[in-house]
Amino acid sequence: MKLYDTARREYVKFKPGHRVGIYVCGVTPYDTSHLGHIMTFMTYDLLVRRLEDMGHDVRLVRNITDVDEPIYKKAQELGIDYRELARNETASFQKILDILNFKRAYSEPLASDYVEDMAAAVDRLYEAGFAYKLEGDFYFDTQKVQQFQRFSGFSERLLDALNEMRGGDPNRRGKKHPLDFLLWKHIDDFKDPAQWKTVVGTGRPGWHIECSIMSSKLLGLPFDIHGGGNDLIFPHHSAEIAQNIGLGYAETAKIWLHVAPILWDGEKMSKSLGNLVYAKDLLKTYEPSVIRLALMNYQHRIGGEWQPELLEEAKTLYQRVKLKSATATIQDVRKLHSSVRSALDDDLNTVDVVSALQRFVDTAVDDQDNKADQEVISILNLIGLDISKYS
């Protein structure tokens, strides 16, 4: 299998051992998942399916960021406890993934269950000289780790812009460097609903330290593949690498695999812009397999503008695949199976998967004595399409 590694900025051969550890940054549960989320997590679902098809024991960890400022703001607007909001949205998110035939993750840790471990890590970073205190808060000293700015390959100007766009506070007085990021937020308001008493004081962790701790606790370091949307390359994943180095780990993951966004009206789908296409709305009209197949028209590292007409094209193709599978020769079915595997092994090339399906329905020869049912089940299962017709 060949995958594109963000860290090395090149395609690399992925040759894991029997057990494969994958960590994917999950959702912040304060709104229903949109197609951007679905595209990201479908990419890793396909990766897991192909690796299991190859005989590997895959452990996918996909965290739930239930300790984060947007949740508290949304809960306050709704007049409910942030924990109730996080529980409800997490359940809604999982329901959508189940309907779309996503394989269940090996583990879906809640950030709130690891706060003591996060605080202990912040304390270690402080004692080791990688962090400093500022008015009760703790910040990571990014000048101590060169990899923080090098991982993304972005220019200093872009790093500065992204830092401010993605939750940084470059203009805070007293910071050693504008890119230094928050490790621990001190809280002295007893009414604040999300605070913990820890070794570094009363407060809550910053976003970046959460994934460093959950991934290392559940998979150990280094693990095989770390992923998420490509908007996480900086600062989030850059920060993870820096923190882990400060904690004594030279390497976080062997491969970094990122997914580009699905756009709507020329912009990345986001809650702040309100340009969202929700999976739950599409499911009112289209089968789950049709939605998955429509998204496979996008190369995961490129993304692109959402085209609703792809749903009708996918619906037609899916119907034709089911009909043709019932009559095609076993030789043609096996040829399709080989083509699908080869496409997935080529950096999860779902565009070629769709092309292989199209060639199959256009060219496969009919056979009155079709005996390819089990092969068809394997193909559809490999790409996460509904196999109920054949089960």
Buried b (16+ CB within 10 A) or exposed e, 244-269: bbbbeeeebbbbbbbbbbbebeeebb
Domain edges within the chain: 2-268, 308-386
CA gap 276, 327 in Å, rounded: 40
- 375 vs 391, higher pLDDT: 375
Give the model's pLDDT for residue 371.
Answer: 79
**What mean pLDDT comes out for the span 140-160?**
96
Domain 2-268 classification at class level? alpha beta
CA gap 133, 174 in Å, rounded: 10
Closest-CA residue to 218 (of 61, 99, 32, 57): 61
Give the model's pLDDT for residue 389.
Answer: 55
Rounded to 5°, the CA angle 339-344-308 comes to: 95
User: Predicted confidence band at 65 (pLDDT cuts at 50, 70, 90)?
Assistant: very high
**What mean pLDDT comes out for the span 273-293?**
91
What phi and psi, each to the nearest 5 degrees, are found at residue 19?
A: -95, 130
Each residue's pLDDT tens digit, 90-128: 999 999 999 999 999 999 999 999 999 999 999 999 999
Give the model's pLDDT for residue 391.
Answer: 43
- 13-27, 260-274, 376-390, range with greatest mean pLDDT: 13-27
Q: What is the CATH number of domain 308-386?
A: 1.20.120
Give the model's pLDDT for residue 9.
Answer: 97
User: Predicted confidence band at 30 (pLDDT cuts at 50, 70, 90)?
Assistant: confident
Q: Which residue has the tokens 């085209």?
A: 307
Q: What percent of the chain has pLDDT over 90?
A: 82
CA gap 255, 34 in Å, rounded: 26
Give the model's pLDDT for residue 368.
Answer: 74
